[in-house]
Amino acid sequence: MRLALGVSYGGQGYNGWQSQSSGNTVQDKLELALSEFAAQPVSTVCAGRTDAGVHGLMQVVHFDTPLERAMGSWVRGTNRYLPPDIAVQWAQPVPDAFHSRASAIRRRYAYVLLQSPVRPSVDAGRVGWVFRQLDGQAMRAAARHLLGEHDFTSFRAAACQALSPVKTLYRADITRRGAEDSPTAYWRFEFEGNAFLHHMIRNIMGCLLVIGQGQQPADWMRQVLAARSRDAAAPTFSPEGLYFLGPVYAPHWGLPTRTAPYDWLP
């Protein structure tokens, strides 16, 4: 039987998703918990790997198992062995043809940012932070240059293993929560694309914030994109406010599209 799981996690305590010798990754913790529950080794494949400090609202994984147990048991039983900041949200049987990564047709990310003269406190580790006021109109104009199919080399980390830097960005929405005349506000940047390069969102965020703070005009984003050089872009921004919202699958797989953590995120 092939099973798919939806997993949520806070990433600030882990060295990213992918298994490492330290054992301090989300994948390591999940596979250890699944193996405890199943009383046999379990190896998972995920929809999209996340870096250290990046959170997941609905990471999707799949694995094969000979065990026949109720789906609710897979959820509750695995969660019994997981740390408090990782939880399986749902479990569902899928056909053998399903692959959590290869079957995904789109992926979604959100970046939550605090604009405030004072650094974060209760939301430390869960939001990015800038102390200067941001120009939403300029950032939205800049983001429009990124929509469509492009070579995103300028936003690609040196360690990126993707075969091609050409990706398609379908959506880049920017919303602000807070009084317009207040120096304090929360910003949400939401991105949807067919796939993303290593550090691509954080590098885009770095450029958007340079523009939002008035250090470059909105058209500078077009120049950075056209340069196809990492040196042309702003420094990589903090991982703390980045959330992997999850993959998008074709409807015929019948998988959930939303989990409870979506309603918590600002």
Active site residues: 51
Give 17's DSSP letter.
Answer: S
DSSP 54: -
Q: Which of 264, 221, 228 is nearest to 56 (CA)?
A: 264
Q: What are phi and psi of 13, to 5 degrees?
A: -95, 5
Distance of CA 44 to the CA centre of its chain: 18
Cβ atoms 173, 208 nearer than 8 A = no
The residues that bridge with 242 in the sheet, in sequence order, are 111
Asked if 189 and 110 touch (Cβ cutoff 8 Å), the reply is yes
Distance CA 23, CA 120 (A): 29
> Is the distance from CB of 122 to CB of 128 less than 8 angstroms?
no
Q: Which residues contact 84 (CB under 8 A, 6 or more apart)?
A: none
Could you give the maximum distance between any two Cα atoms of the chain, in Å? 59
161: how many CB neighbours lie within 10 A of its CB? 8
Q: Name the region of 232 (left: φ>0; alpha: ψ -120 to 50; beta: rest).
A: alpha
Q: Checking DSSP bridges between strand 148-151 and strand 166-177, what pairing results, if any? A: antiparallel
Residues paired with residue 115 on neighbouring β-strands, in sequence order: 130, 185
